[in-house]
Structure 1
């Protein structure tokens, strides 16, 4: 019975302040209490700034979270088989170069998978489609001069696979150096600030509830010493919670982490675009050379007619 009594006292001690805060909140929402304790302007300014920072994190995360989805740019209208995704472009090109007949080339092209499925990105899809197209042209070619278009498609496939791998490296860097820390800031630092602000609001409601109860009981008469002591205790709690919340919010706002993370996001994107430029810049003159050769071959054929 003693234990039950102790539990009952604990529940009562917890419930009574909660009920008082809830009643005070309802009174304020219904406009029945206009004597609300005001928070300092500097504190309210910090709240606005923290809310803005939270909105910024949520807004950017809605977009950048796509970097955690490998297939964010993968064409939705294509269907690729297990064989299509089974080997890298480089592996297929090596197998095709060792083939001595059209049958062997087809067997090499459709060789069974040896590793995990290839990535589903736009660049990898372009690479696979280009190599398949090159193989179609070569399979239909009955000897004679080199098919420059088929050769160009094969080289383009190899380049696009490299670009796709660079994109995956970018995505991994963004996940590690931007998404992870930004989620930490949102779900930890800003959450701590939210909890501190909630504690301030609870302390304010308790203070105003105590003030209202004292006035109601005293009927505007001189407040008894024990009641005044209770109000002063609630005021001290309110001030203490406010000061703590100010410190937490300033810490959230002053940290250089978000800007550092944004710099890392830019760096990852820059590195990808730089790498893509280098790969395509190396490919472009090769494709141009094949085009020149094909045009010369075309003109020679026409002149000989």
Structure 2
């Protein structure tokens, strides 16, 4: 029986403040509350800044979270088979160089995977399509075909660009997405909890004030010592929770992590585009030379005709 009574007292002690806060909140929403304790201007300003920071994180993460999806730029209209994704372009080119017949060449293109399936990125898809096109020309032409040669080299380069994109994505996931998700789901959550504590303390304070005022028939100067002590205790709790929330919000707003994470995002993107530029810059002169050579051969054949 003693345990039951103790439980009842503990439940009542925890439920009563909640009920008082709820009742006070309903009165405020209905416009029936006479007095509402005002929050400091500094606190209100910090709340606005924290809300803005949260919105920024939510919006940018809703877009950049795509970096966690390997196939974010993979064309939806492409239909590639398991064999198409079986080998890297480098592996296929190596196998093709050893092929002695069209049948062996086709077998090299559709060789079973040596490891996991190849990535589904736009660059890898271009590489696979280019190599397939190159082999189609090779198998239908006697002698060397400049376009077939160019397509094979383009395929090798596009695969390198695709690998650079995957390296960029990995960097962004670890250095940007992880950091911004931590700020959103941990730091800003701490701030939200601190703000909730302030709101609860304010509602408790105003409910106590309203109850004591009603008990004193509206004459706050005629409160008992116990009533004054209860109000002062609620005021101290409100002030303490407000100071704590101000500290938490300032810490969230002042931390350099979000800007550092953004710098890492930009650095990863810059590194990818730099590598892509270098890869394609190395390829372009080779393809240009093949084009010039083919045009010269074409003009010569026209002149001979």
TM-score band, normalised by shorter chain: over 0.9
Separation (CA, whole Å) in 2 of partners of 1:178 and 1:242: 32
Please name the residue that 1:55 is paired with: 55
Please name the residue that 1:240 is paired with: 240
- Measured against aligned partners, the alpha-carbon deviations of 1:194-237 in whole angstroms (never above 9, x if no partner) come to 00000000000000000000011110240011000000000000
Match of residue 147, structure 1, among 131, 145, 148: 145
SS at match of 2:171: helix
Separation (CA, whole Å) in 2 of partners of 1:263 and 1:220: 59
Separation (CA, whole Å) in 2 of partners of 1:280 and 1:108: 26
SS at match of 1:85: coil
SS at match of 2:205: helix
**How far has the Cα of 1:302 moved from its partner?**
1.6
Separation (CA, whole Å) in 2 of partners of 1:250 and 1:110: 59
**How far has the Cα of 1:303 moved from its partner?**
2.0
Structure 2, unpaired ranges of 5+: none
Please name the residue that 1:184 is paired with: 182
Please name the residue that 1:116 is paired with: 116
**How far has the Cα of 1:304 moved from its partner?**
2.1
**How far has the Cα of 1:300 moved from its partner?**
1.8
Please name the residue that 1:212 is paired with: 210
Please state if 1:39 is matched with 2:39.
yes
SS at match of 2:261: helix
Please name the residue that 2:260 is paired with: 260
Please name the residue that 2:75 is paired with: 75
**How far has the Cα of 1:46 moved from its partner?**
0.4
Please name the residue that 2:96 is paired with: 96
Q: Deviation above 4 Å: which 4+ runs of structure 1? A: none
SS at match of 2:60: helix
- Measured against aligned partners, the alpha-carbon deviations of 1:154-184 in whole angstroms (never above 9, x if no partner) come to 0000000000000000000000000001000
Task: Compute the TM-score of the two structures, normalised by the length of structure 2.
Answer: 0.98
Please name the residue that 1:130 is paired with: 130
SS at match of 1:31: coil
Please name the residue that 1:198 is paired with: 196
SS at match of 1:84: coil
Separation (CA, whole Å) in 1 of partners of 2:163 and 2:294: 31
**How far has the Cα of 1:114 moved from its partner?**
1.4
Structure 1, unpaired ranges of 5+: none
Separation (CA, whole Å) in 2 of partners of 1:81 and 1:111: 12
SS at match of 2:37: coil
Task: Compute the TM-score of the two structures, normalised by the length of structure 1.
Answer: 0.98
Separation (CA, whole Å) in 1 of partners of 2:57 and 2:76: 29
Separation (CA, whole Å) in 2 of partners of 1:92 and 1:12: 75
Please name the residue that 1:107 is paired with: 107
**How far has the Cα of 1:296 moved from its partner?**
1.2
Separation (CA, whole Å) in 2 of partners of 1:67 and 1:237: 45
